[in-house]
């Protein structure tokens, strides 16, 4: 029995230390988890369930630094809003300096816990993004009973699997073979 105790202790310490305290399996994730830098990326956010059985009433997406020209796709039955703000790093787009952009997308509607849906936006991955690293796109899922925040980013040495509420991640790949838009 000591085997179990020892192991359980160790396992639980590790688990707690790295934050895997619950077994939340079905996360909000991106359908396409890799994209090439300096291309336009279509983000499909997959929402597999509500908050502990409650329906999702609002989905908020924080656009990270480095994704620009963001355009969300409207959804039937959902109202769509965007929050615009000055960009920390203005960039040149077709010879014109862009200083402001979408920093948050808000869809408001209703998605029952037993249903599944996808939320889409498009944006350009600027050259400023570090390649071969994961870009995290935090998402907050709001329900009548509170919110589930898919905003956790792994610390050094952790992986997404160590987190309870990992933010959806996108691996930025280097440009190869002149594939440009």
Chain contacts with another protein (rule: CB under 8 A): 1-23, 60, 62, 138, 140, 149, 151-152, 156-158, 165
Whole-number minimum distance, CB 143 to another protein, in Å?
15
Quick one: three-class SS letters along the chain?
A: CHHHHHHHHHHHHHHHHHCCCCCCCCCCEECCCEEECCCEEEEEEEECCCECCECEEEEEEECCCCEEEEEECCCCCCEEEEEEEEEEEEEEECCEEEEEEEEEEEEEEEECCCCCEEEEEEEEECCCCCCCEEEECCEEEEECCEEEEECECCCCCCCHHHCCCECCEEEEECCCCCCCC
Whole-number minimum distance, CB 85 to another protein, in Å?
13
Whole-number minimum distance, CB 25 to another protein, in Å?
9
Residue 9 or 116: the one with the smaller Cβ distance to another protein is 9
Whole-number minimum distance, CB 3 to another protein, in Å?
4
Residue 15 or 36: the one with the smaller Cβ distance to another protein is 15
Name beta bridge partners: 109.
none
Residue 18 or 131: the one with the smaller Cβ distance to another protein is 18
Whole-number minimum distance, CB 44 to another protein, in Å?
20
Residue 38 or 61: the one with the smaller Cβ distance to another protein is 61
Task: Tell me the HSE value of 95 on the side-chain side, using a 13 A CA sphere.
Answer: 0
Residue 98 or 153: the one with the smaller Cβ distance to another protein is 153
């Amino acid at each position: 029995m000591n085997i179990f105790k020892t192991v359980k202790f160790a396992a639980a310490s590790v688990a707690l230390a790295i934050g895997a305290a619950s077994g939340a399996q079905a996360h909000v994730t991106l359908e396409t988890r890799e994209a090439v830098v300096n291309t336009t990326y279509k983000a499909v956010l997959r929402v597999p369930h509500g908050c502990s059985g409650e329906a999702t009433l609002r989905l908020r997406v924080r656009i990270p630094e480095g994704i620009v020209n963001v355009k969300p796709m409207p959804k039937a039955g959902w109202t769509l809003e965007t929050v615009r703000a000055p960009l920390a790093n203005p960039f040149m787009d077709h010879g014109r300096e862009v200083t402001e952009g979408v920093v948050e997308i808000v869809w408001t509607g209703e998605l029952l816990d037993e249903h599944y849906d996808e939320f889409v936006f498009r944006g350009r991955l600027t050259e400023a993004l570090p390649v071969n690293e994961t870009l995290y796109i935090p998402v907050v899922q709001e329900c009548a009973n509170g919110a589930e925040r898919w905003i956790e980013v792994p610390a050094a040495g952790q992986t997404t699997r160590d987190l309870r509420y990992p933010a959806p991640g996108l691996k930025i790949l280097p440009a190869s073979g002149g594939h440009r838009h």
